[in-house]
C-alpha cells in the first residue's frame, strides 16, 4: 500500500495545490496553486518594508531643505502609518501561513481517502459540500472580516500605542515615534498629578456607573409598578407619554437638556427666579454638574427599564399573588417575595450590561457637560469627566496618545473581567442544547 497521504501533504506543504493535483483534484489544485503564486509574490514584495516599518517606526524625520531662498519640508517617514501598515501586512502573512497549513491538512485527508481506497470529491461535489456542511463558516466569514478590520486591528493598534512615545511632542508627520516599552505605564502612575487625575476620574467613573444604573433601574421599576396597579385607568396613555424620552434621538435630548439647564438663560433657572429662588449653576458647579448628569440620565433611561419591567410583570403568574393573599401577605411582602425576585431573575444580565455600558457612556457626559467644569488639580480633565471622555480629550484634543492608550487598556481590562465573569453564567452563553 502506497502512502498517498504523506506524499500529498508534503507536496502541498512545499507548494500549495500540488498535493491536491497529485490526488487528482485538478481544478481545486490549480486554484490553490494560483493563489499560492500570488501569495508568495505578495509576501516577497512586502515583507522587508513591513518588518522594517514596524520595528523601527521610521528612520528619516521630516526636514526642511533650502530650495533657492525658501525652506521646504521634505517628507520623512510617518511612524503611525508605518505601524498600521506593518500590522496589516503581518496579519496577511499570518493568514497565508494558516491557509498553507490548512491546505496541507486537506491534501493529507485526500491522500488518506486514497490509501483507504475511497473516492475523492470532484469539484462539483466540493462546491456542493461547502454550503451544506460548512455553512456556518460561510456565513460568519464576512461579518468576522469586518469585525477584524474595524475592531480587532484598531484594538491591537491602540495596545501598541501604549508602548510608544506617541504624544504631542512626538507627532507625525513632523516627528518620529519610537518604542519605549513600559515608560508610559510607569509615568502615568508615578507622576503625582497624573496619578491623582487617574484615581479621581476613576472614582467618579465608578460612582457614575453605579448611580446611573441604579437610578434608571429603580426609577423605571417604580413607574412600572405605579402604572400597572389595579384600578389605574388610561394605562396606555401614560405608557405612551413615558415612551417619549426613549423615542427622541438621544443626541438631541442631550443637547436640549444642556440648554434647559443653562444657568443664565435656561428656562429652569428663569422659572425659579420668578419664585425668588436663585437657581444653582447647574452645569458649572462641580456638585450640581454631577447631579444634573444623573438626573438627565434618569430621564433618558427610565423608559427602557419601565418597558422591560412591565413586560416581565405581565408574565408573573397571577395565582402566585392570589395564593399569598389567601395567606394574608401584605403588599410589601408580595413585592419582596414575588415581584422583585422575578424581575431580578430576568433582568440581571441586562443590568450588568447597562452597568458596563454606563462606564463607557460617552455621549451623556460629552454632550451635556463636556467633562466640565474644569478641575485645576487634574491633567486635562474636568469634574464630570469619566475615563472615556478623559481619553477623548487626552488623545483627540491634547495629543497624549500613549497615555490615552494605557488608560484604554486599563479600562478594557476592568470591563472585560467584570462582564466575562457575569456573562459566562447567563443562560444564552452556557451550553444551550438543554434549552431545546
- Which of these segments, 36-44, 235-243, 332-340, 372-380, binds another protein (CB under 8 A)? 235-243
- Which of these segments, 9-17, 203-211, 316-324, 428-436, binds another protein (CB under 8 A)? 428-436
- Which of these segments, 33-41, 110-118, 176-184, 226-234, binds another protein (CB under 8 A)? 226-234
Closest C-alpha among 47, 78, 50, 57 to residue 163: 57
Which of 97, 323, 346, 421: binder of another protein (CB under 8 A)? 346
- Which of these segments, 61-69, 185-193, 275-283, 423-431, binds another protein (CB under 8 A)? 423-431
Please state whether the peptide bond connecting residue 373 to the residue before it is cis, i.e. omega within 30 degrees of 0.
yes
Can you give the C-alpha Rg of the chain in angstroms?
31
- 287: which 3 cell numbers? 456638585
Assess 226 for contact with another protein (CB under 8 A).
yes
Between 10 and 180, name the residue whose CB sits nearer to another protein: 180
- Which of these segments, 10-18, 91-99, 208-216, 418-426, binds another protein (CB under 8 A)? 418-426
Phi, psi of 66 (to 5 degrees): -75, 115
How far is the C-alpha of 20 from the C-alpha of 17, rounded, in Å?
A: 5
How far is the C-alpha of 53 from the C-alpha of 77, rounded, in Å?
A: 9
How far is the C-alpha of 332 from the C-alpha of 146, rounded, in Å?
A: 51
Assess 101 for contact with another protein (CB under 8 A).
no
How many residues appear in the chain?
Answer: 436
Assess 403 for contact with another protein (CB under 8 A).
no
- Which of these segments, 19-27, 56-64, 322-330, 391-399, binds another protein (CB under 8 A)? 391-399
> Which residue intervals of 57-118 are DSSP H helices?
79-115
Hey, which residues does 164 pair with through a beta bridge? 179
How far is the C-alpha of 340 from the C-alpha of 83, rounded, in Å?
A: 53
Binding flags for another protein, 312-331, as an x/- string (CB under 8 A) = x--x----------------
How far is the C-alpha of 359 from the C-alpha of 388, rounded, in Å?
A: 8
Which of 32, 355, 390, 401: binder of another protein (CB under 8 A)? 401
Chain residues 358-377 in contact with another protein, contact rule CB under 8 A: 360, 362-363, 367
Hey, which residues does 70 pair with through a beta bridge? 67
Between 69 and 265, name the residue whose CB sits nearer to another protein: 265
Between 66 and 434, name the residue whose CB sits nearer to another protein: 434
Which of 388, 393, 402, 403: binder of another protein (CB under 8 A)? 388
Assess 238 for contact with another protein (CB under 8 A).
yes
Q: What's the min distance (Å) between Cβ of 321 and another protein?
A: 16
Assess 258 for contact with another protein (CB under 8 A).
yes
Assess 102 for contact with another protein (CB under 8 A).
no
Assess 8 for contact with another protein (CB under 8 A).
no
- 323: which 3 cell numbers? 395564593
| C-beta of residue 249 within 8 angstroms of C-beta of residue 390 | no
Chain residues 265-284 in contact with another protein, contact rule CB under 8 A: 265-267, 270
Chain residues 140-199 in contact with another protein, contact rule CB under 8 A: 140, 142-144, 146-147, 149-155, 157-158, 161
- 58: which 3 cell numbers? 521610521
Closest C-alpha among 395, 361, 389 to residue 375: 389
**If you ran DSSP here, which 8-state letter would residue 68 be given?**
T
Closest C-alpha among 55, 62, 63, 105 to residue 83: 55
Q: What's the min distance (Å) between Cβ of 2 and another protein?
A: 30
Matching residue, cell 503581518: 90
Assess 406 for contact with another protein (CB under 8 A).
no
Chain residues 110-149 in contact with another protein, contact rule CB under 8 A: 131-132, 135-137, 139-140, 142-144, 146-147, 149
Mention every residue, 6+ apart, whose C-beta is less than 8 A from residue 80.
166, 172, 177
Assess 84 for contact with another protein (CB under 8 A).
yes
Between 111 and 303, name the residue whose CB sits nearer to another protein: 303
Phi, psi of 282 (to 5 degrees): -45, -55
Please report, in angstroms and rounded to a whole number, the separation of the first and last CA atoms in the chain: 47
Assess 285 for contact with another protein (CB under 8 A).
no
Phi, psi of 162 (to 5 degrees): -60, -20
Assess 333 for contact with another protein (CB under 8 A).
no
Q: How many residues bind another protein (CB under 8 A)?
A: 100
Amino acid at each position: 500500500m502506497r502512502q498517498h497521504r504523506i506524499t500529498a501533504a508534503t507536496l502541498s506543504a512545499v507548494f500549495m495545490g500540488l498535493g491536491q493535483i497529485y490526488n487528482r483534484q485538478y481544478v481545486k489544485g490549480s486554484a490553490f496553486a494560483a493563489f499560492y503564486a500570488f501569495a508568495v509574490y505578495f509576501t516577497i514584495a512586502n515583507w522587508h518594508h513591513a518588518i522594517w516599518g514596524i520595528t523601527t517606526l521610521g528612520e528619516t524625520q521630516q526636514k526642511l531643505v533650502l530650495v533657492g531662498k525658501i525652506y521646504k519640508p521634505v517628507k520623512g517617514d510617518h511612524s503611525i502609518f508605518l505601524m498600521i501598515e506593518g500590522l496589516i501586512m503581518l496579519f496577511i502573512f499570518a493568514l497565508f501561513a494558516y491557509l498553507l497549513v490548512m491546505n496541507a491538512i486537506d491534501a493529507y485527508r485526500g491522500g488518506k481517502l486514497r490509501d483507504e481506497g475511497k473516492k475523492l470529491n470532484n469539484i462539483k461535489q466540493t462546491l456542493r459540500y461547502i454550503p451544506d456542511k460548512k455553512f456556518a463558516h460561510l456565513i460568519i466569514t464576512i461579518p468576522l472580516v469586518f469585525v477584524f478590520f474595524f475592531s480587532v486591528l484598531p484594538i491591537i493598534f491602540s495596545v501598541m500605542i501604549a508602548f510608544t512615545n506617541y504624544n504631542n511632542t512626538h507627532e507625525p508627520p513632523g516627528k518620529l515615534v519610537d518604542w519605549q516599552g513600559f515608560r508610559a505605564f510607569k509615568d502615568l502612575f508615578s507622576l503625582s498629578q497624573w496619578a491623582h487625575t487617574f484615581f479621581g476620574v476613576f472614582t467618579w467613573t465608578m460612582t457614575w456607573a453605579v448611580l446611573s444604573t441604579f437610578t434608571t433601574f429603580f426609577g423605571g421599576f417604580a413607574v412600572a409598578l405605579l402604572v400597572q396597579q389595579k384600578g389605574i385607568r388610561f394605562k396606555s396613555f401614560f405608557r405612551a407619554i413615558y415612551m417619549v424620552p426613549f423615542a427622541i434621538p438621544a443626541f438631541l435630548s442631550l443637547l436640549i437638556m444642556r440648554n434647559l439647564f443653562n444657568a443664565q438663560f435656561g428656562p429652569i433657572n428663569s422659572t425659579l427666579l420668578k419664585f425668588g429662588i436663585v437657581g444653582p449653576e447647574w452645569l458649572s458647579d462641580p456638585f450640581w454638574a454631577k447631579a444634573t448628569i444623573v438626573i438627565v440620565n434618569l430621564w433618558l433611561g427610565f423608559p427602557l427599564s419601565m418597558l422591560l419591567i412591565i413586560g416581565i410583570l405581565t408574565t408573573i403568574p397571577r395565582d402566585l399573588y392570589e395564593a399569598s393573599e389567601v395567606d394574608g401577605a401584605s403588599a410589601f411582602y408580595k413585592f419582596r417575595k414575588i415581584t422583585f425576585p422575578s424581575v431580578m431573575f430576568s433582568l440581571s444580565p441586562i443590568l450588568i450590561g447597562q452597568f458596563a455600558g454606563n462606564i463607557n457612556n460617552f455621549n451623556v457626559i460629552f454632550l451635556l457637560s463636556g467633562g466640565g467644569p474644569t478641575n485645576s488639580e487634574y491633567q486635562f480633565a474636568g469634574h464630570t469627566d469619566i475615563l472615556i471622555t478623559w481619553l477623548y480629550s487626552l488623545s483627540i484634543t491634547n495629543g497624549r496618545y500613549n497615555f490615552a492608550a494605557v488608560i484604554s487598556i486599563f479600562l478594557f481590562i476592568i470591563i472585560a473581567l467584570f462582564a466575562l465573569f457575569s456573562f459566562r453564567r447567563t443562560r444564552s452563553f452556557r451550553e444551550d442544547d438543554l434549552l431545546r
